[in-house]
Amino acid sequence: MRYAATPVPLFFVRGEGARLYDVDGNVHIDYVLGNGPAILGHAPRPVIDAVARSLGEGQVFAAQNPRETELSERLVNLLPGAEVVRFATSGTEAVLMAMRLARAFTGRDKILKFEGHYHGWSDQAYISARPPLNEAGPADSPVPVAGSLGMPASVLGDVVVCGWNDLDLLRQALERHKGEVAGVIMEPMMVNGGAAQPQPGYLDGARDLCREHGALFLCDEVITGFRLGLRGAQARFGVTADLAIYAKAVAAGFPLALVAGRREIMDTLLDKGVMHGGTYNGNVQSMAAALAALDVLEADDGAVYRDLERRGTRLMQGLADLARRHKVPAHIQGAPAIFQVHFTEGPAPRNYRDAVACDRDRALAFHAALQEEGVRVNQQAKFFLSTAHDDAIIEQTLSAADKAMASL
């Protein structure tokens, strides 16, 4: 069951390009894109054709197939620090694999993660992803907060929580838990907690602190990978993780995730008894989808990304102009392929606590007003763009946003 994201539940029967079609015959310009995977839009023809051709070959073999090797080789040549890749089915699973690898490699138990960073819904990871501030403790030493009923209290003892985008806070947290932290995991751009970019030098500084303390640096690129560029956020921001997790856009809507990283860490899967499994890992259709998606994304030295950046920048700037014209206090921040509108009189949010201080009611009102105009964003007023959002769709979106801003 999926809970309704609008006052009236939406049931969609078809997606094509940048649009969704609901059961009542309404057409929606879609900026949710399945929460990010549909980087090429819905039902992209090259991907659908490749998957259709693969269907008669079987689905799962519990053995290797040539597409796995081909995709692995291409990913190793593309992704920063990727000496070895290992496939999974979902981002949640791949995060758990990365955490297990970090613990096995370092011989330590604790994982340090950041407020507002989402790493899947597992007991081990869904901690302080969206904590109520009255439960989260002081900003300089947050306490772990379980994200769901049904999570055992014991998992909280293996997680250290820190405020993001502040090297002093990270340094202090690592000192408090000296010699205990196996890995530090973060979204290299805090997409889930407010589409905040890292401060200059923050990612490099975090990596250096990890090295100093003997912890692995883990980048969760489930959203940013293949969305912020062909080589992801690490290439965009100039940092290389020990392990990185990818999913969503890598197969343009088909279920695929992976962990990529240093060979000496990844080889613990082979020579140190680290278990990783999954019936659907490396399934034929997801491999075919990912290879076809890469063909499109890599063509002409990544030409589709240049168009995506240009159109996303136009949309971000257009929304900022509309907010000024309608005297609505707002910041539009993130990157052209994934950004969020924050309604606030204060500065642009740099971390989770800044983001939750923004005007949530106005964001919900903007979401609802856009929905009335046939434009679908999520309730945080977050926009995912695809290569199918052409110039005409951007202008249509801005026309709808003009009416939505006027209603706030």
Cα 131 from Cα 145, distance rounded (Å): 6
Give the distance from CA 15 to its chain's centroid.
Answer: 21
Beginning with the edge strand found earlier in the chain, give each strand of the sheet holding 243-246 in spatial order. Answer: 84-88, 257-261, 243-246, 216-221, 181-186, 110-114, 159-162
Cα separation values, 219 from 125, 232, 235, Å: 14, 10, 12
Measure CA of the first residue to CA of the last residue in the chain; give whole Å.
Answer: 32
Per the document, the length of the chain is 408
The DSSP H or E segment spanning 147 is: none
* Contacts of the segment 266-269: beta carbons below 8 A, 24+ positions apart: 266/83, 266/84, 266/85, 266/86, 266/101, 267/84, 268/101, 268/104, 268/105, 269/86, 269/101
Active site (catalytic) residues? 118, 220, 248
The DSSP H or E segment spanning 181 is: strand 181-186
